[in-house]
Amino acid sequence: MSELPFEKSMSSYYFLIFVPLFIFIFIHLSHKYSILNSFSGDAHQKFATKDNVPLIGGIFILLGLILIFHNFYFNFFILSLIIFSLGIFSDLKIIKSPQIRFFLQILSIFTFIYFNEFLIFDTRIFFLNEILENKYFNYLFVLFCLTIIINGSNFIDGLNTLLIGYYLVVSFFLLETGLIETIGFEAEIFYNWFLLLVFLYLFNFFKKIFMGDGGAYLLGLIYGFFIIKIHQNNLLVSPFFIILILWYPCFELLFSIIRKITFNKSPLKPDNKHFHQILFLYIRKIFKCKTQVANTLSANIINLYNFFIMYWASQKIYDTQYQVILIVFNIIIYIFIYLRIFNRIYNIK
């Protein structure tokens, strides 16, 4: 894949002034002309709000790629535009079928992987490394990783600030460890990207914007791409640290798929029994608080937990055994809490 040197982005000073103003103006126009309004009466929306909040977060993420990363990987930018468009078509109810969206995702991502030879080199698992020496299996493995990250990101976007807050935490530790600079980003560029996410978090926190499928798909793709590029350029870093950075949205999705298959349900059919949703129901029940308070509180509890996990992980990024222990710890805690809360919510003894 050909890479171009990154130019410096506009200064943080301009970001602090103009980005919030631009977002505010766009929100006003979205309300005035009913652009991408959120509420459609779907069952899952009882976890958020019945207010019409514009699903325009992904538009700012896409603009961020254009304005902040002036000389980006051109082929990846095209892929980003396609994946974002699939999300927007979902938000607009133009492509209602999840099967069709998933097929188009796979087709687009595989095309990108194939023509750019976007590969994973080392997993620290001997037999898997041998299999990955086959280029076509490697393509499929990368395809699996990116589709899980993309759809896992959309999956966790059921609580206010959970998605954007999670990627704020990820961004913080990519800056803190210096790993983001190893793939060609100057610190100033990524600081501006970080600022953009902070502004989106605040507008999301106050229910002024939602990410929508377009924003969720795009964030998942961008960070999946970042993480794999970091892996390619830093083979001494444990690949299990790379996994841990994005473990939560991926495991939420995988756990849901396994749960539904176990109970003979379609993995593509939505339900309201995901971890973040039952945590929301539990907090609302225990603290007897309003829906919006329980919603945001649940999201920030999850993100605070992940902040500490990533902090501990960032202390030993080269130690595979240490990273594996943290991943196993996460899985055990996730399943234990899920089962305890699920049984209490649904009165199962």
Q: Kindly report, residue by residue over 227-241, the tens digit of the pLDDT.
A: 999 999 999 999 999
pLDDT score, position 72: 66
Q: How far apart are alpha carbons 194 and 216 in whole angstroms? A: 16
State phi, psi for 58 to the nearest 5 degrees.
-65, -30
- For the cut 50, the answer to whether the pLDDT of residue 267 exceeds it is yes
Question: For residue 48, is pLDDT > 90?
Answer: no
Q: Which among 50, 53, 47 is positioned nearest to 283, based on CA atoms?
A: 47
Average pLDDT over residues 204-214: 90
pLDDT score of 16: 64
Closest CA to 141 of 127, 154, 155, 153: 127
What pLDDT score does 3 carry?
A: 42
Contact 109, 219 (CB under 8 A): no
* Mean of pLDDT values over 31-52: 60
Question: What confidence score (pLDDT) does residue 163 get?
Answer: 96
Judge contact between 124 and 320, C-beta under 8 A.
yes
CA proximity to 226, closest of 192, 179, 193, 161: 179
Residue ranges per domain, the chain?
Answer: 12-345
> Residue for token digits 């350029």?
233
The reported pLDDT for the residue numbered 8 is 44
Per residue in 127-160, pLDDT (tens digit) is 999 999 999 999 999 999 999 999 999 999 988 8
Checking if the pLDDT of 327 tops 50, the result is yes
Q: In this model, does residue 52 exceed pLDDT 90?
A: no
- Please tell me which residue, 35 or 253, carries the higher pLDDT value: 253
Contact 321, 241 (CB under 8 A): no
Instruction: Tell whether the model's pLDDT for residue 104 goes beyond 60.
Output: yes
